[in-house]
Amino acid sequence: MSIPVILLLLFCSLGHGQGIPGRVGVGLKERKLSVKDAIVKALESNLELEVERANISFAEAAITGAKGAFDPVVRWLPGVQSRNNPTPSVLVSPDGKLSENFLIQNVSIGQRTPWQGASLRLDFNNARQTTNNPFTSLTPYTNSQILLGFELPLLRNRPIDRDRAQIRIRSKQLDVSRTDLEIRIIDVVTRVESAYWDLLAARDNVVVSQEAVGLAEEQLARTRRQIEAGTLAPVELAAAEAELERRRDTLFASVALVTELENVLKNLLLGDRKEEMWDEAIIPGQGPTEQLPDFSAWREAVASALSRRPELRQNVQRREQNDIELELNRNQTKPLVNLQVGYSTAGLAGALNPVENPFVQSNRDLYARVNRLSLMAGLPPLIPPGGGGAAPGFLGGYGQVLSNLFGGNFQSIQAGVSFDLTLRNRAAEAAVAQSVIAERRLKLQRQQLEQRVETDVRNSYQSLQSGQQRLAAATASVRAAREKVESETRLFNSGESTNFLVLTRQNEYAESRRRELLAQLEINKSLAQMRRAVGRTLENFGIQVR
């Protein structure tokens, strides 16, 4: 029987062929899967990519949190106070106890702005007070005040401060997270390709092992026939049976390897251990049909990789982030000089105090006696002075308070500069030194990455070239080994060869087949590594990172 006929009889799907053991966790259902289908499935469900996407969402939330430093803050401070203080003067209180009650309603709004570090503040204070002090003209009375404050840094914190730096740093961290996702996608795609080609090679290896078992079974049958015919010694039967069992052992090991590699691929593709694909046999398609690159153009490939590799772009992003930190730390070494400007307006109104002060009360009896004497003398009466009172514009309720607040002439303006000099300021100087060291470290890492890119491109091109050469040699070896098996089998049938030589030729043929599979596997995996090395993995499969 010729080799092609044997291959036709032996080839079948794993798990359905005669003499192939069942596989743990894999049923009869099969799923045909191309390498592109596998990549799409991985991009949809791979847990590593989901983690990276969560990191991006986390970075976006961090930016929103950093912007929260510029959210306006509204504060409401209602309160009541009741004071009863002893006083040593009867002029303040006839019974020696000064009683005051306050009802407070204060509201303030603070707003930091990203413009030059400026900040604004608006306060609206209201206090209603009652007192038993007879020298207070109004009781109860309400005092309202509006204060507007503006503060502007002149040196430290003007071009940049910690909160504005955090927003910029968080934005760079978002870019880093997005690049991390791109790097992880490339890594997952490359690993999926590698696992896919490993599985394809492992399944083909099962076919080779199954073919070797079939050849051994045929040789055992021929050996038995010749022993029965008396043309071969009975001892040859044991040799043929031993070789058959050895090949069966190899077949069982190759089937187990298929299951292991299939589980590796499923782990990359699936996001839940309960998905149906775990119980299905994956049937890979054929190997890649793309043309191999021009091996002499590896220098151009290196130049392209240096401009495309996301690791290098991420290094630039980290350096930009460090530049922001360096700018902030250098700014913190400056003195803190702030311009402060304030404007305020006030309003007051209330009811007249019905209690006269002691001076007015004591003078009334005196003026009454003088007026009686003046009347007897024919003189006009004297008009006693008032108890003090209040200006007419201060009499009224809360409406009068607001009228005085916005329409009166009770405005105040202030301006000044505050100076805050930190002697030595070792914390800021140390932070600057750390940022400078980090900048130097990132430059060194850039050189390392560029060398790694150079190495990756060189190695991937060398692997492709070696794989191509090995495949050509292995294919020629398979052809020659097949002819030797057929020739040795014919000689054995005519009694001109031995059982040992036939089995040896069969083993050589199986080994040539495996070398051919390994050479093709090396090419397939090297193509994936080459695309990764030159930064064309996503472009090759039409993947866009969003």
d(CA 216, CA 251): 12
Compute φ and ψ for 442, nearest 5 degrees: -65, -35
Give pLDDT, residue 6.
Answer: 37
Residues 197, 198, 204, 205, Cα dihedral to 10°: 160
Q: What six digits make up the tokens of 233?
A: 């010694």
Q: Output the DSSP codes for 314-366.
A: HHHHHHHHHHHHHHHHHHHTS-EEEEEEEEEEEEEEEEE-SSPPHHHHHHHHH
Give pLDDT, residue 12.
Answer: 39
Contact yes or no for 285/196 (Cβ under 8 A): no
Q: Is 535 left (phi over 0), alpha (psi -120 to 50) or beta?
A: left
Tokens 């058959």 found at: 244
Contact yes or no for 450/523 (Cβ under 8 A): no
Pairing of strands 119-131, 97-112: antiparallel
Q: What six digits make up the tokens of 483?
A: 């002819």
Give pLDDT, residue 386.
Answer: 57
Contact yes or no for 170/162 (Cβ under 8 A): no
Contact yes or no for 175/354 (Cβ under 8 A): no
Q: Which positions ≥6 away from 383 have C-beta within 8 Å?
A: none
Q: What six digits make up the tokens of 305?
A: 């990789």
CA 515 to chain centre: 44
Q: Which CATH superfamily is domain 3-62+164-283+297-329+428-540 in?
A: Outer membrane efflux proteins (OEP) (1.20.1600.10)
**Closest listed residue to residue 201, CA positions, set 513, 531, 543:** 513
pLDDT tens for each residue of the chain, 546 residues long:
343 333 333 333 444 444 566 778 777 788 898 888 898 888 888 888 888 889 889 998 999 998 898 889 999 999 998 888 888 776 677 777 888 898 999 999 999 988 888 999 999 999 998 888 777 777 888 888 999 999 999 998 889 989 999 999 999 999 999 999 999 999 999 999 999 999 999 999 999 999 999 999 999 999 899 888 888 888 889 999 999 999 999 999 999 999 999 999 999 888 888 888 888 888 898 766 667 877 888 888 899 899 889 999 999 999 999 999 999 999 988 888 999 999 999 888 887 777 666 666 666 677 777 777 788 877 888 776 655 566 777 788 888 888 888 887 888 899 999 998 888 888 889 999 999 999 999 999 999 999 999 999 999 999 999 999 999 999 999 999 999 999 999 998 888 888 899 999 999 999 999 999 999 999 999 999 998 999 888 888 888 877
In the DSSP assignment, the letter for residue 20 is P
Q: What ranges do the domains of the chain cover? A: 3-62+164-283+297-329+428-540, 72-113+118-156+336-353+389-420
pTM of the model: 0.76
**Closest listed residue to residue 540, CA positions, set 197, 303, 193, 45:** 193
Neighbours of 278 (CB within 10 A): 17
Q: Where would I find the H helices in 408-498?
A: 426-493
Contact yes or no for 369/310 (Cβ under 8 A): no
Measured N-to-C along each axis, helices 162-229 and 235-269 cross at an angle, to the nearest 10 degrees, of: 160
Pairing of strands 138-153, 97-112: unpaired
Q: Which positions ≥6 away from 414 have C-beta within 8 Å?
A: 340, 341, 342, 343
Q: What six digits make up the tokens of 131?
A: 């007192």
Q: Tell me whether the omega of the peptide bond preceding residue 140 falls within 30 degrees of 0, making it cis.
A: yes
Pairing of strands 138-153, 119-131: antiparallel
Give pLDDT, residue 230.
Answer: 84
Q: What share of the chain is helix, strand, coil (3-state, %, to 5)?
A: 60, 15, 25
Give pLDDT, residue 17.
Answer: 41
d(CA 533, CA 195): 18
CA 434 to chain centre: 24
